[in-house]
Structure 1
Amino acid sequence: MATPIGNLGDISRRALDVLRRADRIACEDTRVTRKLLSAEGIATPTTAYHDHSGPRERGRLIDAVAAGAAIAVVSDAGTPLVSDPGFKLVREAIEADLPVTALPGPSAPLVALLLSGLPSDRFFFGGFLPPKSAARRQALQGLAGLDASLIFFEGASRVAASLSDMAAVLGPREAAVARELTKLHEELRRGSLADLAAHYEAAGPPRGEIVIVVGPPAVQQAGEGFDLDAALTQALQHASLRDAAATVATASGLPRRRVYARALELAKEGEPAKDCGAEE
């Protein structure tokens, strides 16, 4: 039986029992896992299972389970199978009709959502966005209309750029940037996408693993109470005229042609815009 087990820093008695009874433990870093096992007096053999060793080890682990062995899969931090090769192992075990169960540990995306103060009744986990700005903005454009909070992983060196792209594409939304959640030095900063982008641009890349949570589009009644000029002015600072108009139209609920026409007027009045191409 293959059993994914969560964060080794906050492990349950049930998970410890599984680790004791397992025939082998597949882990991201055998050195990290060995510290826990030694502290708990567990002598179960370990196997490195990560992005580089996964293709080589999966077949061996599947064969072992098929032969009756119990294999436990653990992560160094967070819940296994989220943005790591563990899901491929589980998928192959299911395809081979082998039993799989899970003992999930702390989950950074869910903890970030809970601590953000943003709506948690509906959310979308987007994993890692593309590293290049153009592809990242295209991916965000596809998510702009979702009536849900958005959750992303991000590399520390790209936090400021990603937040800037989010502000340009998603508009003036509230957000939170979480660092090292479920670990010793966790930290969370809340604010608008634009304010957070400015903060990390000035402060430099944060250290550790990062989760970004973005609130859903503001609910508007056909633009009631919506400051169209202010929203367009902010959007035009980061996006082309066409993209800015599309983003603001989605956020406001106003007709796209009306928003685009006003964006053209603002551009003629001297507001920064990267293009003034015709509305498609």
Structure 2
Amino acid sequence: MTGNGRLVLAGAPIGQAGDVSPRLREVLGSADVVAAEDTRRLRRLATELGVEITGRVVSYYDANEAGRARELLEMLKEGRTVVVITDAGMPGVSDPGYRLTSLAVEEGVKVTALPGPSAVTTALAVSGLASDRFCFEGFPPRKQGERARRLASLAEEERTMVFFEAPHRLHDSLEAMAEAFGPDRRAAVCRELTKTYEEVRRGGLAELAEWAAPGVKGEITVVVAGYVAAAGELDVDDLVAEVDRRVAEGEQRKAAIVDVAKRAGLPKRELYDAVHRRSDTP
């Protein structure tokens, strides 16, 4: 272990200052160094929280991340506590933080985190889409060709997918997703999560692209349902077996049928009939 320094990755509120934890208040007030994506926003947050930052405040954003990470590493090796905080959410998740964390781990510096709000999991929770398995894909490429190739590679991704997107590129991205995943693939566009004008739009990708065409404002997170095989490709016997397994574990048969059919993209009546045919078979 190098020195006694400690790197703290601090989750920041994505909309409401009241969502911060007591530990974040404590650490902001006691840290030797606070590295902030936007120092002015940090000062405003501290004022709202009634916290006095006594340590050194430095900027740490995309443009200076590579160089500043080395400086912060030296401070950690000297035994200081360094807190990294971004404008919203968790450092390192489509925000500065990964480079410094990687360097600190290589040098044997202690790295910890203060869990906090995340647009990724918040959007997933309110989307209404399957949340038992998901992947985070960050921002789609800006260039049309690169974006099309990236999305095409995800066309058969079975997990629910979460993307970030800039409001002025949302319409184009939704159109590209409709092209790659199919116009009726279910999705949710989550705008301004936890803020005053929070809005969640759910529907097929083509429908959502049409809604976004006039323009959308705010912080955007897009959640897209994973791929399921067409009904004709499904092995209904496997789905019946899944229902039987869940019933054996204590789940109500009707609830199991509804959920398994929904996940498979199969009409629940078709699965209901298959389950009951199996039950009636001697």
Distance of 2:196 and 2:22 partners within structure 1: 21
Change over 3 Å in CA distance of 1:85–1:134 after alignment to 2: same
1:65-144 matches, within 5 Å, as 65-144=76-155
Distance of 1:182 and 1:6 partners within structure 2: 15
| Partners of 1:106 and 1:182 within 8 A in 2 | no
| Partners of 1:80 and 1:86 within 8 A in 2 | yes
2:221 is equivalent to residue 211 of structure 1: yes
Distance of 1:66 and 1:142 partners within structure 2: 42
Residue identity matched to 1:150: M
SS of residue matched to 1:53: helix
| Partners of 1:78 and 1:182 within 8 A in 2 | no
2:66 is equivalent to residue 55 of structure 1: yes
| Partners of 2:125 and 2:131 within 8 A in 1 | yes
Question: Aligned to 1:26, which of 22, 35, 49?
Answer: 35
TM-score using structure 1 length: 0.76
| Partners of 2:189 and 2:202 within 8 A in 1 | yes
4+ residue runs over 6 A deviation: none
SS of residue matched to 1:20: helix
Question: Aligned to 2:232, which of 192, 209, 222?
Answer: 222
Distance of 1:97 and 1:182 partners within structure 2: 37
Residue identity matched to 1:215: A
| Partners of 1:29 and 1:76 within 8 A in 2 | yes
Question: Aligned to 1:17, which of 15, 26, 30?
Answer: 26
| Partners of 2:29 and 2:51 within 8 A in 1 | no
Distance of 2:231 and 2:46 partners within structure 1: 57
Distance of 1:36 and 1:139 partners within structure 2: 36
CA positional deviation for 1:218: 3.5
SS of residue matched to 2:110: coil
Q: Percent identity?
A: 42
Distance of 2:195 and 2:53 partners within structure 1: 23
| Partners of 2:28 and 2:51 within 8 A in 1 | no
| Partners of 2:7 and 2:111 within 8 A in 1 | yes
| Partners of 1:27 and 1:33 within 8 A in 2 | yes
Question: Aligned to 1:196, which of 208, 215, 218?
Answer: 208
Aligned twin of 2:197: 185
Distance of 1:100 and 1:191 partners within structure 2: 41
The answer for unaligned runs of 5 or more in structure 1 is 225-250, 253-280
Distance of 1:188 and 1:207 partners within structure 2: 13
Residue identity matched to 1:20: G
Residue identity matched to 2:78: A
Q: C-alpha offsets along residues 204-251 of structure 1, whole Å, 9 cap, x if unaligned?
A: 2x1122111111124434257xxxxxxxxxxxxxxxxxxxxxxxxxx9
TM-score using structure 2 length: 0.75
| Partners of 2:134 and 2:161 within 8 A in 1 | yes
The answer for unaligned runs of 5 or more in structure 2 is 1-5, 235-263, 266-282
2:185 is equivalent to residue 176 of structure 1: no
Distance of 2:200 and 2:108 partners within structure 1: 42
| Partners of 2:30 and 2:53 within 8 A in 1 | no
CA positional deviation for 1:183: 3.4
2:42 is equivalent to residue 42 of structure 1: no
CA positional deviation for 1:24: 0.9
* Aligned length in residues: 225
Aligned twin of 1:235: none
Aligned twin of 1:258: none
SS of residue matched to 1:42: coil
Residue identity matched to 2:113: A
| Partners of 1:80 and 1:104 within 8 A in 2 | no
RMSD: 1.9
